[in-house]
Amino acid sequence: MQHSNTLDLLVGLFVASGIGALFFLAMQVSNLSSFFEQDSYKITAHFENSGGLKVKSPVSMAGVRIGRVSAIHFDNKTYESIVEMRIASKYNTLPDDTSASILTAGLLGEQYVGLTPGGSEEFLHNGSVIDFTQSAIVLENLVSQFLFSDKEKK
């Protein structure tokens, strides 16, 4: 069997393009591509319970992803969860009375932050704090409330 430089070059290009495609797919699936989004601003919200929310979870409004959760901290003074979000700069007209809720995608899906616009004429900017929040609903608490309320009726 005879090897030619052209055949070796074509095989090498094919393998390199396959590795590049796998890298691109891995970045899209793992949400690591969001680290390259530099054109954004930071907003913060305080929740009583952030549930299963994770860093890099989506932040959406009207079903459209407009940002990602960048950090989650615990406040030792108020005993609340502090959620920092990075919002893409092209969404810079969010009213400053926007509310934030922690929602679940599907019955057992991942949790995300859903924003609902208010009616203010002032806009959120870098460093703004969302005052109106609704914490995550913990499924175990709902089940226990249902079970205990059923016992009290009998």
Per-residue confidence of the chain (154 residues) as pLDDT tens digits? 567 888 888 999 999 999 999 988 887 776 555 554 568 899 999 999 888 889 989 999 998 999 999 999 999 999 999 999 999 999 999 999 999 999 988 776 788 999 999 998 999 999 999 999 988 777 677 777 777 776 555 5
Helix (H) or strand (E) holding 40: strand 40-47
Length of the chain: 154
Please give the Cα distance from 116 to 61 (Å, whole number): 6
Angle at 124 between CA 105 and CA 90, to 5 degrees: 70
